[in-house]
Structure 1
Amino acid sequence: MDYEYTDEIKKRLRRIEGQVRGVLRLMEEGKPCKDVVSQISAVRNASDKALAQIVAENLQKCIMDEQEAGRDPGKLVQEAVELLVKSR
């Protein structure tokens, strides 16, 4: 099963990549812990949103594929929820 990832999600991940580089720069410049932690928190929030978007988009495709094959998609939904819960 091939998955397609939107340009929007790729753009979001590139922003996260830039945020991580920014955190490293803060660390290299010896900035206060408060600033570093604040930026890491922003990275975490952005990655959580990206994760949720990826799961939601792919879950929809997987559910449709399961239904077309005559199978119950309930297990896929449960797995998606577990992935989201485990990621926190």
Structure 2
Amino acid sequence: MAYGSNTANRVKRMEGQLRGILRMMEDGQNCKDVITQLSAVRSAVNKTIGVIVSENLLDCVSTAKGNAEKVNFAIQEAMDLVVKSR
């Protein structure tokens, strides 16, 4: 599967957020502020997982070309990935 620049940008943004959180911790910032930022990263990770699973599912379904067994397998695999990520 090819990952688009949009998905890579999401991950880069999360990387920047995590570096910022490390700086906050090193600077002794308030724990509520650190937790708020960590929650934002967790939310971004969850959204990125959703985007990747969705794009993969669309790709798998479109290549199944009407093969119901392949479509069902792709859907089940996508749902397993979503459940695993939680």
What TM-score does the superposition give when structure 1 sets the normalisation length? 0.87
Partner of 1:62: helix, strand, or coil? helix
Which letter maps to 1:43?
V
1:40 aligns with 2:38: yes
Aligned residues between the structures: 85
1:11 aligns with 2:9: yes
Q: For 1:28-78, what per-residue CA distance to the aligned partner results, in whole angstroms no more than 9, with x for missing partners?
A: 11112111111000000011111100110111111122236x452112211
Q: In structure 2, what is the Cα distance between the partners aligned to 1:7 and 1:86?
A: 25
- Identity over aligned residues, as a percent? 45
* Runs (5+) with no aligned partner, structure 2: none
Q: For 1:8-38, what per-residue CA distance to the aligned partner results, in whole angstroms no more than 9, with x for missing partners?
A: 1111111011001111111111112111111
Instruction: Name the structure where helix makes up a greater proportion of residues.
Output: 2
Q: What root-mean-square deviation, in Å, do the aligned CA atoms of Structure 1 and Structure 2 show?
A: 1.4
Q: In structure 1, what is the Cα distance between the partners aligned to 2:26 and 2:39?
A: 18
Query: Which residue does the alignment assign to 2:60?
Result: 62
What TM-score does the superposition give when structure 2 sets the normalisation length? 0.89
